[in-house]
Amino acid sequence: MPKVLIVDDEKSIRSTLREILEFEKYKVEEAQDGLDCLAKIKADKFDVIIMDIKMPKMDGMEALERVMVLAPETPVVMISGHANIDTAVDAVKKGAFDFVSKPPDLNRLLITLRNAMDKSCLITEKKTLQRRVRKTKVQDIIGESKNISAIKETIDRVAPIDARVLITGANGTGKELVARWIHEKSNRKDKPIVEVNCAAIPSELIESELFGHEKGSFTSAVKQRIGKFEQANGGTLFLDEIGDMSLSAQAKVLRALQENRITRVGGDKEIPTDVRIIAATNKDLRAEIAMHKFREDLYHRLAVIIIDVPPLNKRAEDIPMLVEHFSETICGDYGIATKAFNKDALKALQQHNWSGNIRELRNVVERLIILSEDKISKKDVQSLVFPTHSSNHGFKPLFDQFKNVKELKTYMEKEYASYKSQA
């Protein structure tokens, strides 16, 4: 149900408009002057605002200017019984959607509101499409540290060649972004890049996911399915978390890489494929080979070029640039002004131990943007993100105080006995 805010100092006019609009299935709220209007806008979101010009405390023209700052996408329809053409033109120049004279013609007012609603819907659709376009574009690799500069240089050299690439690094460091940039700068950029998360697919389904299957090849195979190798034909196949792939699937991937052919599950026809393989893992594959969890021959097939993406703690100098980038992106998605971080706040973020890497940093920036005021300070970082940093009592997590679970259990039993004796 569309929500309308009526701003007028005359209660009778507000009541009349409310009755009409509620009959037309609008949800209505009232404000008695400009200041009251601004307070309600800060607390809630409205689809359309109907605002009088002549009001005490803050008139409609001044309130209009402030509404254009607080809620620039919200259409404002100005109404007045004392205004002239110059006033109407001035209101429109300041951002008003339309101007209606008092007493308002009912049909014109309702048509104006419908048009304003259409504008509001178009703005929302535009923002949604812009977000989709941003997500389809490959994001830049943010940073100028020595490690990141070396990775960018390697990408530029490797991308035009069809050599297989193995990307290593901890979770959240940006391995997928590196893979997408290799594809984007390659001769295959006009073809698809198809991603397979090997850790997310059960071992019994990974072969069907990669190579496809024929109808009737197993119980739930009710129709033929094209696998990821065929989907990526002519483009790039990105095997994410390949260290979690089962040994049986590894053997079939190795055969596909050797022969550039695949066979669907349940089929006997060999299908030629032309794909570039980029793999990524957060595991030490050499250690996995030693434990017989990963095939050494597949490793050597994949690791023609190795790109190691460093953890965020090893590129702390890039944090200010990353924070600025995330702030612009997140604020753009929320439709609010970009929030700045002062130097002390950035320094506090640089000193933190980022176990979750860039993924954790983005979440922290989003939390600060939502919960902080316009300028984000070190105090905001300490209180909203790392509250234990601001305390000096030397608190240590309970589990860290004991060598093993047995010691912890003994401690808890003593504490409980003490509590029972005092009860």
Residue 72: exposed, middle, or buried by beta-carbon count in 10 A (0-12, 13-18, 19+)?
exposed
Fold of 146-308: Rossmann fold (3.40.50)
Q: From CA 98, how far away is CA 115, in angstroms rounded?
A: 10
The Cβ of residue 135 has, within 10 Å, a number of other Cβ atoms equal to 9
Digitized pLDDT (tens) for each residue of the chain, 423 residues in all? 888 999 998 888 888 888 888 888 889 999 888 888 988 888 888 889 998 888 888 888 888 888 888 888 888 988 887 767 777 788 888 888 888 887 777 788 888 888 888 876 776 666 666 555 545 567 889 999 999 999 999 999 999 999 999 999 999 999 999 999 999 999 999 999 999 999 888 877 888 999 999 988 887 788 888 999 999 999 999 999 999 999 989 999 999 999 999 999 888 889 999 999 999 999 999 999 999 999 999 999 999 999 999 999 999 999 999 999 999 988 887 878 888 999 999 999 999 999 999 999 999 999 999 888 778 999 999 888 776 544 443 334 444 555 555 666 666 666 666 655 655
Q: How far is Cα 31 from Cα 27, in angstroms, rounded to an integer?
A: 14
SS3 320: helix
**Candidates 1.10.220.150, 1.10.3760.10, 3.40.50.2300, 3.30.565.10; correct CATH number of 3-135?**
3.40.50.2300
Say what the pLDDT of residue 393 is. Answer: 38
What gap in Å lies between CA 323 and CA 289, rounded to an integer? 38
pTM above 0.85, yes or no: no
CA 165/CA 173 separation, integer angstroms: 17
- Residue 162 DSSP SS3: coil
Rg of the chain taking only CA atoms, in angstroms: 30
The answer to whether 358 touches 176, Cβ cutoff 8 Å, is no
What residues have CB less than 8 Å from 306, skipping those under 6 apart? 165, 166, 167, 168
DSSP conformation class of 232 = T
State the distance between the two ends of the chain, measured CA to CA, in whole angstroms.
Answer: 56
E-strand ranges in 267-367 read 270-272, 276-281, 305-308, 340-341
Read off the DSSP letter of residue 314: G
DSSP string computed for 345-409? HHHHHHTS--TTHHHHHHHHHHHHHHHS-SEE-HHHHHHHT-GGGG--S----GGGGSSSHHHHH
Write out the two tokens for 362: 């983005």
What is the predicted pLDDT for the residue at 150? 95
DSSP state of 45: -
Q: Which among 273, 253, 257, 276 has a CA at the least distance from the CA of 183?
A: 276
Nearest Cα residue to 277 out of 244, 300, 308, 295:
300
Pairwise CA distance, residues 265 & 205, whole Å: 10
Could you tell me which of 46, 60, 67 has the C-alpha nearest to residue 13? 60
Where do the CATH 3.40.50.300 domains begin and end in the chain? 146-308
Query: Can you say how many angstroms the Cα of residue 358 is from the centroid of all Cα atoms in its chain?
Result: 12
Burial class (CB in 10 A: 0-12, 13-18, 19+), 312: buried
Residues of the chain with CATH 3.40.50.2300: 3-135
Dist. CA 64–CA 49, nearest whole Å: 10
CATH 1.10.8.60-classified regions of the chain: 315-390
Number of residues assigned to the chain: 423
CATH no. of 315-390:
1.10.8.60
> Tokens representing 90?
């001035």
Q: How many CA atoms lie within 13 A of 47 on its CB side?
A: 19
For position 395, what pLDDT does the model report? 36
Token pair of 192, please? 């698809």
Encoded tokens for 74: 């919200």
Q: Using alpha carbons, select from 368, 181, 103 the residue that is nearest to residue 360.
A: 368
Residue type, 238: F
Q: What's residue 397's pLDDT?
A: 45
